[in-house]
């Protein structure tokens, strides 16, 4: 988190994302609309799903002490 208390986006590699996921070091954010989500054959275990139309309201409710790894489909 930055000095102002706002989260700052960064890009990480797929390998780094997998490592952090395996270590349970991140909150996975699955940004997908409800219709698409219902049709998915595979879902990320323990991911928090947020409708992209509600991201502004929902994002602040995520744990502040963990890195948020966003996955957008």
Q: Would you say residue 35 lies in a domain?
A: yes
> Would residue 4 count as lying in a domain?
no
Instruction: Give the angle subtended at the CA of 61 by the CAs of 64 and 32, to the nearest 5°.
Output: 110
The pLDDT assigned to 43 comes to: 78
pTM score: 0.66
Whether 65 maps to a domain, the answer reads yes
Using an 8 Å Cβ cutoff, are 52 and 4 in contact? no
CA–CA distance, 58 with 63 (Å, rounded to integer): 11
Domain range enclosing 22: 14-72
Number of domains in the chain: 1
CB atoms within 10 A of CB 11: 6
Q: Does the pLDDT of residue 57 top 80, yes or no?
A: yes
Q: Report the C-alpha gap between 37 and 40 in whole angstroms.
A: 5
Burial class (CB in 10 A: 0-12, 13-18, 19+), 63: exposed
Q: Indicate if the pLDDT at residue 1 is higher than 50.
A: no
Q: The domain that contains 58 carries what CATH number? A: 3.40.250.10
Question: How do residues 11-27 score in pLDDT, each as one tens digit?
Answer: 888 899 889 989 988 88
């Amino acid at each position: 988190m930055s000095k102002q208390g706002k989260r700052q986006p960064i890009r990480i590699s797929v390998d780094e994302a997998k490592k952090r996921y395996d270590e349970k070091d991140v909150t996975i954010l699955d940004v997908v609309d409800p219709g698409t989500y219902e049709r998915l054959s595979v879902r990320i275990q323990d991911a928090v799903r947020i409708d992209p139309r509600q991201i502004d309201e929902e994002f602040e409710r995520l744990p502040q002490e963990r890195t948020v790894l966003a996955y957008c489909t």
